Amino acid sequence: MPYLTTTGAARRTCGGERLGFGVPGYAHPLLAPTEWAELVRPGTPLHWAVLNIADGPGSRPDPHCLEAAGRLRNARERALHGEAPDDSVRAAGGRLLGHLDLAFGNRPFGELIADARSFLDWYRVGGFYLGRCPAERAELPAVRRLTSTLHTLLEGSDSGDEGGRLVLGHGTHPYPGYAETADQLVTFRGPWADYRWSQVAQWTADYPPERFAHFVHGVPRTHLDEAMRIARWQGAGTIFFTDRDDHHGQTDPFAALPSYWDEIVSRIGPGISE
């Protein structure tokens, strides 16, 4: 298999480096109450989850999203500052990230900053997920300008997450310079049929696993072990695998829980956001 035969290209993770979940964006909390409740279940190894309302923060604060954001923020506080922070059954400790749609570089800078301010003011997010982020070298200066400004906004916010977290949602391996503009890059987003034969870019070996995330849909339950093995071999520290796909009327396979959620949680084990 290509992910096993690529020489010198992967930063392989050892068994002691635990995977965790990044949730690209569940459906609205009113439509997916179980999904949002699972994010704060004790022991869920959550790194972060994305809040996306109409490809951004929406036009006004949403009471259901405010409630979901508060629960996740409180769970993170308990996980980080609880009486037994090393307890293996502690609450989830993931950050809530606001979704900013870059439209592959076609969104005006001012619109993106306005969306970011709304996320911070209304939902006190602990960072941002930059969806449909461009991957080409020519777009790097614009993305660098945006992430620099977002870092400044996060540092001046009262979200409770010092410095915040920025994730670039490329969905593929970008020009290497993007690795210096954010905390984490999504270097794969797609179907299992492509993932199981994928190869990792050589430059990623210069960075630790917590810098990369993989989102894979259509992963059969019987191939979960193989999928996690690929993620570790390719040096991804954050994952979201689901058996849902983009067929049969499902426009977003990542909007709901996979049927094997409990199983994959138990395989990864309890954890806390880095």
Q: What is the pLDDT of residues 12-35, one digit of tens each?
A: 544 445 799 999 999 999 999 999
Summarised one tens digit per residue, pLDDT across range 91-150 is 457 999 999 999 999 999 999 999 999 999 999 999 999 999 999 999 999 999 999 999
CA distance 80 to 154: 19
- Phi then psi for residue 46, to 5 deg, are -95, 125
With 0-12 / 13-18 / 19 or more C-beta atoms within 10 angstroms meaning exposed / middle / buried, residue 166 is buried
For the chain, percent of residues with pLDDT exceeding 90: 77
CA distance 227 to 190: 13
Please, which pLDDT band fits residue 251 given cuts at 50, 70 and 90?
confident
CA distance 106 to 114: 15
Check residues 220 and 81 and name the one with the higher pLDDT: 220
Check residues 158 and 194 and name the one with the higher pLDDT: 194
Beta strand spans in the chain (E): 20-23, 46-51, 95-101, 127-131, 165-169, 184-191, 212-217, 238-242
Summarised one tens digit per residue, pLDDT across range 38-67 is 999 988 999 999 999 989 999 999 999 999
Beta bridge partners of 167: 129, 184
**What is the pLDDT, as a whole number, of residue 152?**
96
- CA 27 → CA 51, 109, 213, 255, 272, distances in Å? 9, 26, 20, 5, 23
